Amino acid sequence: MRSPTLGAIATLLLLAPAGAWTPADAPLSLAPQSRLWVDGTSTVRSFTCKAGVLDAEIMAAPDAVAAILAGDKAVKSVEVRVPTAKLECGNGTMNEHMLKALKAKEHGTIVFRVTSYDVAKGAEGVTGTLTGTLSLGGVEKTITVAATGRDAGGALRVAGSYQLRMSDYGLKAPTLMFGTLKVNEVVKVGFDLVLTGTPAVATTN
């Protein structure tokens, strides 16, 4: 039997319905309303530092939002990056001390890479855990973060929090006002991310 000619193959490709061809990967990205912040306490008052800029590379299967909301594992890889210098604590002095504590000059980006995850469908969306490596202040550690997901008008809204101990990353909590204000080394990182199919960088005030 003769092998198909190049012309015959080309004809088959042209006649094939467009819907039969789907991309292997479909990137998701952060919508502008996505947020990440750090809540902390001190001997004087509590504080919140907001990430002014978030960036992410998320590769997923086609129609990933619907698949995840159905309880399927449709995401293939996730990397979230936060420029350390873009953390805003609402006070110039606090900003300066926090950036110093986080070794921002030497290590300008906080990075979380997901290595595995699980997801389960619930009554009002999905729940799951994200396991991955967090790079902070030049130290990389494996962490596990609990998260929830729900439909946000065709997008996927993922929210959760994680308690972080600064000394686990070789970081010293800031001390201000000649030692009268001491920041607790345990802080809570919160996130509220909206994932869409349109590439974007989230910028918040």
Task: Kindly report, residue by residue over 65-83, the tens digit of the pLDDT.
Answer: 999 999 999 999 999 999 9
- Any idea which of 4-13, 40-49, 69-78, 139-148 has the lowest mean pLDDT? 4-13
Q: How far apart are CA 169 and CA 10, in angstroms?
A: 57
Residue 4 lies in a domain: no
Quick one: pLDDT band at residue 149, thresholds 50, 70, 90?
very high
Give me the mean pLDDT over the 78-105 stretch.
93
Average pLDDT over residues 82-87: 96
What pLDDT is recorded for position 202?
55
User: Does residue 85 belong to any structural domain of this protein?
Assistant: yes
User: Does residue 73 lie within any of the structural domains?
Assistant: yes
Q: Give mean pLDDT, residues 185-199.
A: 88
In a domain, 93, yes or no: yes
The distance of Cα 198 from the centroid of its chain, to the nearest Å, equals: 16
Let me know if residue 9 belongs to a domain: no
Q: What pLDDT is attached to residue 91?
A: 87
Q: In this predicted structure, what is the pLDDT of residue 122?
A: 86
CATH number of residue 86's parent domain: 2.40.128.110
How many separate domains does the chain show? 1
Residue indicated by tokens 């926090």? 98
CB-count exposure of residue 148 (10 Å: 0-12, 13-18, 19+): middle
Cβ within 8 Å of residue 65, ≥6 positions away: 28, 151, 154, 155, 156, 195, 197
Residue 172 lies in a domain: yes
Closest-CA residue to 174 (of 82, 89, 53): 89
178, pLDDT greater than 90: no
Q: Considering just the CA atoms, what is the radius of gyration of the chain in Å?
A: 22
CB 32 within 8 A of CB 202: yes
Closest of 137, 138, 147 to residue 78, by C-alpha:
147
pLDDT digits over 113-125, tens only? 999 999 999 888 9
In 3D space, the residue among 82, 102, 79, 98 whose CA is nearest the CA of residue 36 turns out to be: 82
Reduced to 3 states (helix: H, G, I; strand: E, B; else coil), residue 194 is strand
Q: Confidence class of residue 177 from pLDDT cuts 50, 70 and 90?
A: low
This prediction's pTM: 0.81
Residue 104 lies in a domain: yes
Highest-scoring range by mean pLDDT, 4-13, 22-31, 89-98, 194-203:
89-98
Residue 152 falls within a domain, yes or no? yes
Domain that residue 36 falls in: 26-196
Query: Would the pLDDT of 130 be above 90?
Result: yes
